[in-house]
């Protein structure tokens, strides 16, 4: 028989079975706050880099892009901007094909004797292609108003749309003379996937080549 600090006789030797007071020598259970801390995220082998952005591994998740080394990778986001460029120029072979079709204005269109290449960085969700016009309020990101100016290019001829897999799609919203991608006609309002090396023809002689790299 044990007596608790309050003077009650107790039949147990850890806590008083009358008032519940702790008796001398009773083991104290650790509180939840004293539990052992969770182990830190395990770093990868020395020299291991993230397969997505090449950042040295410091834990289960990449500190830069969030790649999960356990095998569940986050969805990629379209990366646009300085990585892509559109290079414009004049294509004599395409001009000859257009003139051979003998359109109503074919006899008034001359191939430019000099047309320097120009580079336009692709940035944002959409990049408009056309000719600037203050009266129409048209100010496309890829401005083909020249000089030299291709009279067959509409003020809003086509639009490049950024995709979610680091690529682009081309849409012709209804240009007057149509658009071709790698020689094939583009159906109005039907997106066409485009990427590095693809050639977009429009107007009487304009060609746009997409390139991946810093403009």
Give the pLDDT band of residue 22 (cuts 50, 70, 90). confident
In this structure, are 105 and 184 located in the same domain?
A: yes
In this structure, are 47 and 92 located in the same domain?
A: no
Summarize the confidence of residues 77-105 as an average pLDDT: 81
Confidence at residue 71, expressed as pLDDT on a 0 to 100 scale: 58
* CA separation for the pair 172, 131 (Å, rounded): 14
Domain boundary among 24, 52, 74: 74
- Stronger pLDDT, 195 or 46, i.e. the higher one: 195
127 touches 114 (CB < 8 A): no
The fraction of the chain above a pLDDT of 70, given in percent, is 70
Give the pLDDT band of residue 54 (cuts 50, 70, 90). low
In this structure, are 57 and 104 located in the same domain?
A: no
Confidence at residue 44, expressed as pLDDT on a 0 to 100 scale: 55
In this structure, are 122 and 47 located in the same domain?
A: no
In this structure, are 148 and 185 located in the same domain?
A: yes
Bond into 5 cis (ω within 30): no
For the record, the structure tokens of 140 come out as 């496309």
First vs last C-alpha separation in the chain: 91
Q: Answer yes or no: is 31 within a domain.
A: no
Q: What is the CATH number of the domain that holds 150?
A: 2.60.200.20
Confidence at residue 59, expressed as pLDDT on a 0 to 100 scale: 77
Instruction: Kindly tell me if the per-residue pLDDT of 127 is higher than 90.
Output: yes
Q: Answer yes or no: is 36 within a domain.
A: no
In this structure, are 67 and 168 located in the same domain?
A: no
Q: Answer yes or no: is 2 within a domain.
A: no
Instruction: Kindly tell me if the per-residue pLDDT of 32 is higher than 50.
Output: no
165-210 residue pLDDT tens:
888 999 999 999 999 999 999 999 999 999 999 999 999 999 999 9
62 touches 50 (CB < 8 A): yes
In this structure, are 165 and 146 located in the same domain?
A: yes
- Which residue range(s) make up the domain with 68? 41-74
In this structure, are 97 and 186 located in the same domain?
A: yes
* CA separation for the pair 143, 128 (Å, rounded): 8
In this structure, are 112 and 184 located in the same domain?
A: yes
Q: Answer yes or no: is 15 within a domain.
A: no
Q: Answer yes or no: is 161 within a domain.
A: yes
Confidence at residue 69, expressed as pLDDT on a 0 to 100 scale: 67
pTM as predicted: 0.61
Confidence at residue 51, expressed as pLDDT on a 0 to 100 scale: 60
Q: Answer yes or no: is 3 within a domain.
A: no
Burial-class residue 138 by CB neighbours within 10 Å (0-12, 13-18, 19+). Answer: middle
Summarize the confidence of residues 129-137 as an average pLDDT: 88
The domain tally of the chain equals 2
For the record, the structure tokens of 192 come out as 């066409």
In this structure, are 61 and 99 located in the same domain?
A: no
Q: How much is the mean pLDDT over the chain?
A: 79
Confidence at residue 137, expressed as pLDDT on a 0 to 100 scale: 81
User: Which residues pair with residue 122 across a beta bridge?
Assistant: 81
197-206 residue pLDDT tens:
999 999 999 9
Instruction: Kindly tell me if the per-residue pLDDT of 81 is higher than 90.
Output: no
């Amino acid at each position: 028989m044990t007596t608790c600090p309050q003077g009650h006789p107790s039949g147990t030797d850890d806590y008083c079975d009358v008032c519940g007071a702790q008796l001398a020598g009773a083991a104290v259970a650790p509180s939840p706050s004293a539990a052992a801390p969770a182990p830190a995220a395990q770093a990868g082998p020395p020299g291991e880099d993230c397969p997505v952005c090449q950042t040295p591994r410091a834990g289960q998740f990449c500190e830069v892009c969030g790649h999960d080394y356990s095998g569940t990778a986050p969805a990629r986001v379209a990366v646009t901007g300085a990585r892509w460029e559109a290079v414009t120029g004049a294509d004599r072979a395409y001009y000859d094909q257009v003139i051979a079709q003998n359109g109503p204005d074919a006899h008034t269109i001359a191939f430019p004797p000099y047309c320097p290449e120009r580079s336009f960085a692709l940035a944002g969700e959409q990049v408009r292609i056309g000719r600037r016009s203050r009266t129409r309020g048209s100010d496309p990101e890829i401005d083909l108003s020249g000089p030299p100016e291709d009279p067959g290019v509409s003020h809003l001829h086509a639009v490049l749309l950024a995709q979610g897999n680091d690529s682009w799609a081309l849409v012709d919203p209804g240009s007057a003379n149509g658009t071709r991608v790698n020689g094939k006609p583009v159906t109005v309002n039907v997106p066409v996937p485009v990427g590095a090396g693809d050639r977009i023809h429009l107007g009487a002689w304009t060609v746009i080549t997409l390139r991946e790299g810093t403009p």
